[in-house]
Amino acid sequence: MPFLEIPDTLITVYVEMTAPDQAKLAFVDVPHARIEQLGRVDVPFYRFLYKAVGDAVRWRDRNFLSDDELAAALAAAHVFVLYVQGVPAGYAELVQTGESVELAFFGLRPEFHGLGLGKHLLSYAVQKAWDMTGVRRVWLHTCNLDSPHALDNYLKRGFRLFKEEREPMPERYKS
């Protein structure tokens, strides 16, 4: 179920960090939780994560990719999966291009919201991004279809707003 009614305008907000000391990491002690990097491209498992995390907030873009196109995109990514008691609870996907790392996808399955796991997984992803070679910038974008807590979490972890775009709501997000 979506968090919000679908507005007429899509508002996309871009945030960034330009130095590791801007990160305000906030790890929580969650018994039986662990984060693991996917060791290989696994398109069916990734599709499960994408749907389980993104359906409620109308993630659609990757649904339009063929398995081969998605596998190619994932080959350049670092995907970290949060497990709680052995169950996939969410994931973070990092993509490095030159000196920038994009947090391309990030989120939790709805049943894991409200437990502090979002700040934990985000902190882990930010730390991993800054650990990559030659990184001078970590960034992401979010929009008004995302969880109402997403932007606040990003700002609390040290990200700063650098751009906002508005456009009529694309048809693919209306259903």
Say what the pTM is: 0.92
Q: What mean pLDDT comes out for the span 95-122?
A: 95
pLDDT value at residue 171: 84
Q: What mean pLDDT comes out for the span 107-118?
A: 93
Which segments of the chain does DSSP mark as H helices, in order? 43-54, 67-75, 117-131, 150-156
Q: Residue 27: give its domain's CATH number.
A: 3.40.630.30
The count of structural domains within the chain is 1
Evaluate whether residue 96 is within a structural domain: yes
pLDDT value at residue 169: 87
Domain of 146 in residue numbering reads as: 9-173
Evaluate whether residue 4 is within a structural domain: no
pLDDT value at residue 72: 95
pLDDT > 80? residue 151: yes
By the 8 A CB rule, do 139 and 17 touch? yes
Evaluate whether residue 1 is within a structural domain: no
